[in-house]
Amino acid sequence: MPTRRWAPGTQCITKCEHTRPKPGELAFCKGDVVTILEACENKSWYRAKHHASGQEGLLAAGALREREALSADPKLSLMPWFHGKISGQEAVQQLQSARHPGDYVLCECGASHVAVGRCYGRTGLVSCQVEPLAALSLGLPPTAGWLLNLQHLTLGAQIGEGEFGAVLQGEYLGQKVAVKNIKCDVTAQAFLDETAVMTKVQHKNLVRLLGVILHQGLYIVMEHVSKVGQDPRVVGPGGSRAGGSGWGGSGAGPKGQGNLVNFLRTRGRALVNTPQLLQFSLHVAEGMEYLESKKLVHRDLAARNILVSEDLVAKVSDFGLAKAERKGLDSSRLPVKWTAPEALKHGKFSSKSDVWSFGVLLWEVFSYGRAPYPKMSLKEVSEAVEKGYRMEPPEGCPGSIHALMGSCWEAEPTRRPPFRKLAEKLARELRSAGASAPNGGQDTDGPALPRSQEP
pLDDT digits (tens, 9 = 90+) for 426-448: 999 999 987 555 443 344 344 33
Neighbours of 230 (CB within 10 A): 25
Residues 394 and 426 in one domain: yes
Domain CATH number, residue 21: 2.30.30.40
- The single-letter DSSP state of residue 297 is -
Largest Cα span, the chain: 76
Residues 365 and 260 in one domain: yes
Residues 114 and 227 in one domain: no
Cβ within 8 Å of residue 331, ≥6 positions away: 344, 347
CB 45 within 8 A of CB 162: no
Q: Examine residue 203 and state whether it is found in any structural domain, yes or no.
A: no
Which one of the listed residues 73, 300, 318, 443 is annotated catalytic?
A: 300
- 13: number of CA atoms within 13 Å, CB side? 11
Residues 296 and 228 in one domain: yes
Residues 417 and 358 in one domain: yes
Neighbours of 132 (CB within 10 A): 10
Residues 248 and 385 in one domain: yes
Residues 324 and 393 in one domain: yes
Q: Examine residue 202 and state whether it is found in any structural domain, yes or no.
A: no
Cα distances (angstroms) measured from residue 20 to each of 24, 29, 200 = 11, 10, 38
Of 358, 451, 336, the C-alpha closest to 406 is 358
Q: What are phi and psi of 37, to 5 degrees?
A: -100, -40
- The H or E element spanning position 169 is strand 165-172
224 backbone φψ class: left, alpha, beta (φ>0; ψ -120 to 50): beta
b/e 419-433 (16+ beta carbons within 10 angstroms → b): beebbebbbebbeeb
Which residues fall in the annotated binding site?
180
Q: Examine residue 193 and state whether it is found in any structural domain, yes or no.
A: no
Cβ within 8 Å of residue 159, ≥6 positions away: 167, 168, 169, 178, 250, 252, 253, 255, 256, 257
Residues 355 and 385 in one domain: yes
- The H or E element spanning position 422 is helix 419-436
Question: What is the model's pLDDT at position 193?
Answer: 64
Domain CATH number, residue 383: 1.10.510.10
Residues 250 and 281 in one domain: yes
Indicate if 73 belongs to the active site: no
Which residue ranges of the chain lie beneath pLDDT 50? Answer: 1-3, 69-76, 78-79, 81-85, 98-105, 108, 110-116, 118-127, 130-144, 228-257, 324-325, 327-330, 438-455
**Residues 61, 46: Cα–Cα separation, whole Å:** 6
Which residues fall in the annotated binding site for ATP?
180
Q: Examine residue 21 and state whether it is found in any structural domain, yes or no.
A: yes
Q: What are phi and psi of 84, to 5 degrees?
A: 65, -145
**Residues 326, 335: Cα–Cα separation, whole Å:** 11
Q: In which domain, by residue range, is 242 found?
A: 223-436
Question: What is the bridge-based pairing of β-strands 218-223 and 175-182?
Answer: antiparallel
Q: What are phi and psi of 38, to 5 degrees?
A: -165, 155
Sheet holding 11-14, edge to edge: 56-60, 45-50, 33-39, 11-14, 64-66
**Residues 388, 405: Cα–Cα separation, whole Å:** 14
Question: What is the model's pLDDT at position 418?
Answer: 97
Residues 125 and 261 in one domain: no
Residues 261 and 355 in one domain: yes
- Residues 170, 173, 174, 175, CA torsion sign: negative
- The single-letter DSSP state of residue 18 is B
b/e 277-312 (16+ beta carbons within 10 angstroms → b): bbbbbbbbbbbbbbbbeeebbbbbbbbbbbbbbeeb
Q: Examine residue 72 and state whether it is found in any structural domain, yes or no.
A: no
Q: Examine residue 395 and state whether it is found in any structural domain, yes or no.
A: yes
How many separate domains does the chain show? 3
